[in-house]
Amino acid sequence: MSDCSTDFLPKEMIYYTATKISRRGQTRFDIDTHLFNPIINRPIQLKLPIESVLLYRYRTQIDASPTKLFTHTLEHVNFTTFRTIILPEGEDQKIHEGRICFEFNYYSTVLKKNITIQIPKLILARDLFFSHPYLIRAALFAENYSTDVLVDRNDEKAIHINIAKNKKIMNADVSDPHFLKKLALILLQPDLKKAFLSIYQKTIIDQKGAKSFNFDMEVPDLKNIDLTVDGIYDKETGIYRIERITSFKNLDTAINRPIQFHFTSKKIIQQVKNAQGQGSNKPKPASQPKEKLNKNAEADIDKLLAKLRNLPGEIYTIEELKISLETPPAKTVVRKRQKQMDKDQNQEEGFAGGEGDIEGTVSGFTTESEIQLERVTYKDLIKLLEKIEEKGYKTKEIKNSPFKIYKRFRGHKFANNQLRYFYVYKILNIENNHQFYLCEIDTSDGKKNISTLLLPYEEKTQRLIETDLDILNNSILSQSLSWPKKFLSEIRGITAFTTINHPSKQKQLEDVNYYADWAQRILAKVKSI
């Protein structure tokens, strides 16, 4: 399960590498990601949604300390000479251990010497194929994406690509020329298509049963390609490792006609494929001769294709397809998609257009204690606070209101559509002026058992609670109503916090000191942080 939403990562975050891929449910993948957080001034490791590799706004680095990337233009690169290597463990480069790379020899006219060039396979795939979240998901779920697109080559004037808009391909995609042109190249350029399909085979099928996956792919059979790249050159080893490819030039597209895109429904695309015999399970009438059946089927296909060709769409020339590889996608591509998703509250989707796992929420990375916790109501909380005040403390209400809606996450309300409340109190010891924050979530519906969050009163927690409380609100919802512990520690630098379980409701029936004991447990726990 992902540790943190990419929305909560600070803009100053420095991206190093992304390595191991793991499944999150049936519809999502996460990836182990190494970053440097300048706010807390240390490297961190998070499990993020795999779409995070597309966030170009992060400065890609390679060493444990920020190092300026060296831009280089590689001319006439022959991909058929690439060999596969796995980076070994190194004391100073542990974050790169296990990265699967392509490697080849190259004479640099800039350095005026022979060098060894390494391209991590994920970097090549990201910059060659994965301009949009849909494309990375299509690569990893290749067997499930055949219903999204239909290619029609039977028109002499143009090649028609029919796209079904759905949860996976959204309006933000089909209105983006860069996405359409990249999709056309993957579908129509034989070498690119073969390499793209190999990602699913080598990463998922060949590693079936693995707890996590090493990203892998076959090398595309491309020759005489010019690459503009950024990377790090090690003078001692003579190795230049590429971390970003900004353009591919001189690609032979193997496309001889303009491309026309049409946007239709999944149902119509499936009708054509059924008529072509690609998915129909319906028995054919036995009374008709085989030849007549074939002619009827062909006639049906022609009618459907003609109907699709007459749909309005977008047209791109062969030259426009080439240019799409020479310029990277907009840096805000993931952000634009997310904004689009925010506008459409009727669809239930996960990060960047993914299909939802459970009620439109993303699974949290933390789990509460295995001890069965009991649900807390506002009445319980008030009685608890009264007992804390009796012990010489003042309480100040910071928040006593419903969770604010955050994207499509539905933890902000109960199953009966009543709003779920979020409570935050500042608690002050009158005697010694010691302060802390108590955070509670209304679990009166019994949907989830959640402990109490206790935060010390300090500069970082004060900023979070009294200035950025909406961010905490969103982070809790994005973690399926779990306290976002890695967000607190790795992103906000708040390491001194703790949680405490609610006492058993059975004990409430038996013990007249139920709330007093609960208050005492909290005050004792606070002293430990």
For position 199, what pLDDT does the model report?
Answer: 96
User: Bridge-partner residues for 452, per DSSP?
Assistant: 500
pLDDT at position 392 over 80: yes
Q: State the pLDDT at residue 330.
A: 60
Whether the CB-CB separation of 15 and 58 falls below 8 Å is answered with yes
In this structure, of 91-105, 425-439, 466-480, the range with the lowest mean pLDDT score is: 91-105
pTM of the model as a whole: 0.79
Average pLDDT for residues 226-247, to the nearest whole number?
Answer: 92
Residue 208: burial class (beta carbons within 10 Å; 0-12, 13-18, 19+) = exposed
Burial label, 520 (beta-carbon count in 10 A; 0-12, 13-18, 19+) = middle
Which two tokens mark 188?
Answer: 């129509």
Model confidence at 510, pLDDT cuts 50, 70, 90, reads low
- CA–CA distance from 441 to each of 261, 365, 384, 481 (Å)? 48, 17, 14, 8
Q: pLDDT tens for residues 134-146? A: 999 999 988 777 7
Question: Which residues lie below 8 Å from residue 283, measured CB to CB, with a gap of 6+?
Answer: none
Comparing C-alpha atoms, which of 82, 77, 87 is closest to residue 104? 82
Per residue in 70-85, pLDDT tens?
889 999 999 999 999 9
Question: Is the pLDDT confidence value at 389 over 70?
Answer: yes
